[in-house]
Amino acid sequence: MRIVNGSDTRESLKRGKSFGDLVDEQRVQEFMGNFYHAYNSFYDSNLAKYWCKRLELSNEFINDYRERRKKIRKNFYKTVLLDDKFRGSLYKTVRPGWVGDVN
């Protein structure tokens, strides 16, 4: 979809017309309405909820990892990998899921 009138916009601009004179306001409004609808549809979809949940899980895991890293200096990986809670949060964060899996 073209939002600019005329077949050769550069030539029109060279002849002194402003870009504002070349824009088709109705098409711009249609584009913005369609974009707004598409954005809202995506945001309300399971895919967006899935991404948000995964980002939350990742953030929680990273914060937990950093806190444990500060506390445990010696044999860090051996210690955390023996901890069921740490392994469980690691699995929840990296396990594959599907779009409807937002739990």
pLDDT in tens, 17-44: 555 556 677 777 888 888 888 888 877 7
Question: Which residue, among 42, 88, 96, 95, has the nearest Cα to 64 in the 3D structure?
Answer: 88
Please state, in angstroms and as integers, the Cα–Cα distance from residue 84 to each residue in 3, 62, 90, 97, following that order.
57, 16, 10, 21
pLDDT at 1: 46
Domain boundaries, the chain: 9-43, 46-94
Interacting residues of 76 by C-beta distance below 8 A, sequence separation 6+: 68, 69
Report the amino acid identity of residue 45. Answer: S
Q: What is the mean pLDDT of the chain?
A: 77
pLDDT at 84: 93
